[in-house]
Amino acid sequence: MSEVRQVGAVDWDAEVLGSGRPVLVDLWAAWCAPCGVVGPIVDEIAGDRAGSLDVFKLNVDEDPEVAMRYGVSSIPTLLVFRDGEEVGRVVGALPKARIEAQIDEALSGARA
């Protein structure tokens, strides 16, 4: 299973923007009930896509700078990056299949 790593503003550029693979970042907070639903799904996706997708989690209460930088006003929010650019986002607690479909759509460059 692929490791889901914590990331913050200090290492954001190197870890997320500088990754050689597509990246998924889960922005969450401990008090957020829907985040508790999405968190395990993100863990599963990390395992399913080990080697092809880097997966990180960022606690917005501990490190709000990144959320502000990307205009995230609701959590859970999943940000999808390719080549250092945000190519998609998933907002809210959705089923795994819908989350994966939105990730795939973002990474393929297709628009709904």
Residue 95 preceded by cis peptide, ω within 30? no
Residue 35 annotated in active site: yes
Q: Is-contact 63 34, C-beta < 8 A?
A: no
- Residue 109's CB: how many other CB atoms inside 10 A? 9
- Spot the catalytic one: 4, 16, 27, 32: 32
Amino acid code (one letter) for 55 = V
Residue 2 annotated in active site: no
- Spot the catalytic one: 4, 16, 23, 35: 35
Q: Which residues are catalytic?
A: 32, 35
